[in-house]
Structure formats: structure tokens, C-alpha cells
Amino acid sequence: MKSTENLLKVIGLAICLLFSLMPSYPQVLELTVIGIVLMTVGIPHGAIDHLTSKPNPSSKDLIFFLIRYLGMIGIYILLWILFPLLSLAFFLLFSAYHFGQSHFFERKNLIFTDYFLYLTRGSFFISVILLGDLEMTQSILNPLIDFQGIVPYAFYAMGIFLIVSLVLEWKSYRLIKKSTWVDLVFLAPLLFISPLMISFIVYFGFWHAFPSMKLEYQFLKAFPPYNSIKKFIYQLLPFSLISLIGIGLMVYFGQQYLESSELLLLFFILISLISFPHVIYMDRFVRIIKTDRYST
């Protein structure tokens, strides 16, 4: 699956380059790319949290899982209603940690500074995405924050995130990985010059979601119900379809009452809601796998 991951990353870079070179393009083309990535890897990579949590769940286990999962989503909805700015900051924070973690799945032994490595590396790439298309970022975030006012500081922060993450990577590995240099030389510049939604979906889909799915499959294939690609994909379908239908319905009805920038903000909020519990479960899964403490 490593060759598939590399191929998808090359495709992702090509998509960024294509959109950055086009002076204009039909919105349907952008939406098609976003939809394909979301449906194939974006949503499905979080659709088996119940299995990575407990590979052989009983009906009772599944019920308790759903109650906890939906409960976390419900709490986060309440936070968005009561404290939207704080909820946005929280979303960026846990997304940065989560994305940064996926750059280092191969690391076997965790040390305390790795948590800061994940946070700073993910913060760097999120900063690249948000600052690369300032006009779109501002149009989305203006209802919540005066983004224009923090732009100069954000560029300084982006540089600090990069430097600190490289120092921490050197401390952890005693070298800077080849994949890191590839990401910095090719990925970061292309994300910066690409349209916001394209840079986000490429990074989210090919640098986070697919590597996460690969890790999940490598673990679950040890269990007979999931020991083939076909069986694995079958397990992805139920919750993937539920999530996609839910997001699709909310976006459809949102189109009736919201401006395009407000609709994009709604999209990010919906992504944040389903991401929150997934980040918690995925982090637990990764930490336990790395310490060989998984109980079946």
C-alpha cells in the first residue's frame, strides 16, 4: 500500500499544480475533486473508529460507542453555538495535532516531545493552507474573527511552527526524514499557491486520510472479519454513507438560506463536528499500537 500512497500523493501534487496554473475554472470542477476525495478517503478513514477501538465489538459495545461518539458531537455543537471563536480555535488546535501525527505514523516509540512535534508540524501546514489563499480564508472566517488583523502575526507563527517542528524532529530521529524534505520542498509551496479548498482537500485526503486508512488496515487485517481489502472496504461503508448523507443534506438545505462564504463556514463546522470524536479515538489507537498494548 506504500506504492498506492506515493501515487496518490503525486496525484495530489498534480491537482494543486493544475488548479494553481488555471486563471479561472468552473466551480463544478473544484467541487468534483473535493467530492471524490471526501467520498473515497476523507470520510471513510474515520468510519471504523468503532473497530479500531474494539476489533470484535458486541452489539452492546457498538451501542455504547455510538452514545459516546454522538455525545461528543453534541457537546461540540453546543460549544459552537455558545463560544464560536473558542470552538474555531479548538478545531484548528486538534486538527493541527491530528494532521501532524499522520506525518509520523511509522515512529514506534513515543517520547513526550512528540506531542509538540505533531502539533507544530500540523500547525505549519494548516498555516500554509490558510495563508496561501487569504481572500477565501478571510471570507470564510470573517463572521467569527478579524482575520486580516492577525495575518502579519500568522506569517511569523508559520515560520516558528516550521523551525520548532524541525528541531523537534531532529531531537526525535537524530535526522530530518527524507519525506519531510519532500513535503517542504514540493507540498508546502503547492499548497500555498493553490485555492484554499483544493489545498485543504489534497492535504487532508492524501497526506492524512489515506495514511490513516493504511494504518487501520494494517492493524485490522490480523482479524479474520477484516483480513482482505474487500472485507475492509465493506466495513467502511455503513458509517461513511451515514456521514456523507448527513453532510449532503445539511449542505443542500444550507444552500437555500446561506451565502457561499457562509456555506463554506458551515462545511468546515460540519467537518469539525465529525472530526472531534475521531481525533480522540484515532489518537488512542495510534498511541496503543505504538506501545504494543492493544487488547483484542
Q: How does pLDDT run across 48-68, given as a tens digit for each residue?
A: 999 988 888 888 999 999 999
- Name the residue among 83, 71, 177 with its Cα closest to residue 121: 177
pLDDT over 80 (residue 296): no
Question: Range of 60's domain?
Answer: 2-290
CA gap 192, 212 in Å, rounded: 23
pLDDT score recorded for residue 294: 47
Tell me how far apart the alpha carbons of residues 204 and 285 are, in angstroms, rounded to a whole number.
19
The predicted pLDDT at position 295 comes to 44
Q: Is the pLDDT of residue 180 over 60?
A: yes
DSSP annotation of 47: T
Cα–Cα dist 143/249, whole Å = 23
**What is the maximum span of the chain, computed from C-alpha positions, in angstroms?**
55
Residue 296 domain flag: no
Q: Does residue 172 belong to any structural domain of this protein? A: yes
Q: Is 3 helix (H, G, I), strand (E, B) or coil?
A: helix
135 inside domain: yes
295 domain-assigned: no
The grid cell for 203 is: 492535504
Cell of 62: 457498538
Tell which residue, 266, 234, 273, 272, has the closest CA to residue 250.
266
Q: Does some domain include residue 216? A: yes
Mean pLDDT score of the chain: 88
Flag the least confident range among 93-107, 127-141, 171-185, 252-266: 252-266
Residue 236 in domain: yes
Q: What is the DSSP code (8-state) at residue 173?
A: H
How many domains does the structure of the chain reveal?
1
Distance of CA 95 to the CA centre of its chain: 6
Nearest alpha-carbon partner for 72 in 284, 290, 245:
284
